[in-house]
Amino acid sequence: MTHIQDAPLVCGTFDQAELDRQYNARGTVVDIWPILDRYRVETERARAALPCALGVPYGPTEPERLDIYRPPSADRPAPVFVFVHGGYWRLLDAGDSGFMAPTFAAGGIMTVAVNYALLPTVTLDEAVRQCRAAIAWVYENIGAYGGDPGRIHVCGNSAGGHLGAMLAADGWHRDFGLPRDVIKGATLISGLYDLEPVRRSFVNEWVRLTPQSAAVNSPIRTLPRPDLPVLLSYAPSETAEFKRQTRDYRLALDRNGNRTAFIAVPGSNHFDIILLMTDPGSPLSEAIVRLFETQ
């Protein structure tokens, strides 16, 4: 009888097939496309409902642009909610990413949807740099649109959760001449905070991480300043690895002295969880508004 050996482990207790399954977010839903279509439909509704400035450039290349959604009226500069979309760094656009704007506009909050160049047309280092350049642009220019540069909150989901955490990270502000506290709060949803397992998975076909770039771009290795409040969330149907990534990152934040909270969202999945921000009464919407109110 021939003995069939177990598949070799490639990361922790995972063989290649299981590691790839753990990082296959699409595998947790039947079909992502109807959900992604809702992003665009709800964003179009937001564009029709609110005064907005679309495709505003923050850098020299076409993908470096953002969409600004203003509250209908305000008697003072509006706090700024900056959203960075997901799509495993290779899908979606700012044009899919303004759906939450009416919810926050009702509370006097401005929404800015950030666009960035998708992988593999650029490196992850460049995508991170572009998102940071977008924050620098917002800080320096949002006052002209009625926003308050002193009250910038970042949010992202999935790959956008990773990018949002890289915006929340401490230290990068020096390269852009920004104050250390340019980011006042962060909401990170179903994010990726340690990229070494990602590097070893099928996702690296387009992310193309090296051990060095995975380390440099892992938020768990560059935490926020200790006074930055962070909201975290993931859907109940996420894979065990997506959940572990959030739990480990939150533990690191707690040890760092950050004030954290986990927002439970029953019945959601990896892709539709962020659409709950179209509902002012959802746990995510209410937690974000409360965080703004404390700043």
| 177 Cβ contact partners less than 8 Å away, ≥ 6 residues apart | 136
Q: What percent of the chain has pLDDT above 90?
A: 95
Is the pLDDT at 4 greater than 70, yes or no?
no
Pick the closest to residue 87 from 5, 1, 160, 192 (CA basis). 160
219-263, pLDDT tens digit by residue? Answer: 999 999 999 999 999 999 999 999 999 999 999 999 999 999 999
Mean pLDDT over 196-209 rounds to 98
CA dist list (Å): 154 to 173, 179, 193: 14, 15, 15
Distance CA 8, CA 120 (A): 28
102-137, pLDDT tens digit by residue? Answer: 999 999 999 999 999 999 999 999 999 999 999 999
Q: What percent of the chain has pLDDT above 70?
A: 98
> How large is the angle between the packed helices 159-168 and 124-141, nearest 10 degrees?
60
25-82, pLDDT tens digit by residue? Answer: 999 999 999 999 999 999 999 999 999 999 999 999 999 999 999 999 878 999 999 9
Is the pLDDT at 200 greater than 60, yes or no?
yes
CA dist list (Å): 80 to 73, 174, 182, 193: 14, 21, 11, 24
Distance CA 236, CA 213 (A): 30
Distance CA 101, CA 20 (A): 34
